[in-house]
């Protein structure tokens, strides 16, 4: 049996056999096709990836900044949380940390965004483990290379309702 190409428009649901290679499903997520298991089938929803830097105001684009476009604050999320945004920071560095309700660090890491040459999108996944639902804060920031001199580096804090288990 020959494989047929998947064709869908924004918001259309697709059904893919669950036995389909996991690498294909992962690549689909990167292309804006989000999949979830339904027994022997995998249901997918097509959501086009929009460049998070596309609508950045020119005044902001000439400054050092970080903007998180997804997830929005206050939403309920299970691990892993996919984070997308736009930045222009010193040496393109974007550092992130997820803290639980008592301030403990649940996850941390870094990624690359835009730098001296201009704004650029960033994306990363936050993997965490909580036993019960709790309020957490995702902090996305640029490291302070100046030891507190001058204008403070950009910093964004996104409140999230963290839930146990996989989505």
Q: Does residue 35 sit in the same domain as residue 93?
A: no
Q: Does residue 72 sit in the same domain as residue 32?
A: no
Q: Which single residue is written with the structure tokens 């649901």? A: 13
Calpha distance 141→42 (Å, rounded): 36
Q: Does residue 83 sit in the same domain as residue 149?
A: yes
Q: Does residue 91 sit in the same domain as residue 30?
A: no
Dihedral sign, Cα of residue 23, residue 28, residue 34, residue 38? negative
Q: Residue 69: inside a domain, yes or no?
A: yes
pLDDT tens profile 103-140: 999 999 999 999 988 999 999 999 999 999 999 999 99
Structure tokens at 138: 């995702």
Of all residues in the chain, what percent carry a pLDDT higher than 90? 50
Do residues 53 and 114 make contact, with C-beta atoms less than 8 angstroms apart? Answer: yes
Boundaries of domain holding 42: 13-46
Q: Does residue 69 sit in the same domain as residue 144?
A: yes
Query: Would you say the pTM of this structure is higher than 0.75?
Result: no
Q: Residue 3: inside a domain, yes or no?
A: no
Give the pLDDT confidence score for residue 51 in this predicted structure.
85
Q: Residue 2: inside a domain, yes or no?
A: no
């Amino acid at each position: 049996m020959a494989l047929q190409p998947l064709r869908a428009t924004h918001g259309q649901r697709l059904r893919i056999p669950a036995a389909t290679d996991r690498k294909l499903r992962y690549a689909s997520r990167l292309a804006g096709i989000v999949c979830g298991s339904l027994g022997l089938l995998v249901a997918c929803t097509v959501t086009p990836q929009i460049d998070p830097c596309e609508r950045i105001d020119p005044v902001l684009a000439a400054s050092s900044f970080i903007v998180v476009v997804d997830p929005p604050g206050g939403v309920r999320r299970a691990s892993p949380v996919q984070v997308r945004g736009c930045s222009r920071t010193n040496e393109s560095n974007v550092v992130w940390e997820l803290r639980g309700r008592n301030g403990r660090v649940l996850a941390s890491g870094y990624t690359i965004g835009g730098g001296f040459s201009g704004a650029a999108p960033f994306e990363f996944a936050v993997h965490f483990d909580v036993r019960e639902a709790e309020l957490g804060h995702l902090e996305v920031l640029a490291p302070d290379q100046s030891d507190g001199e001058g204008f403070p580096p950009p910093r964004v804090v996104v409140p999230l309702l963290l839930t146990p288990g996989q989505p």
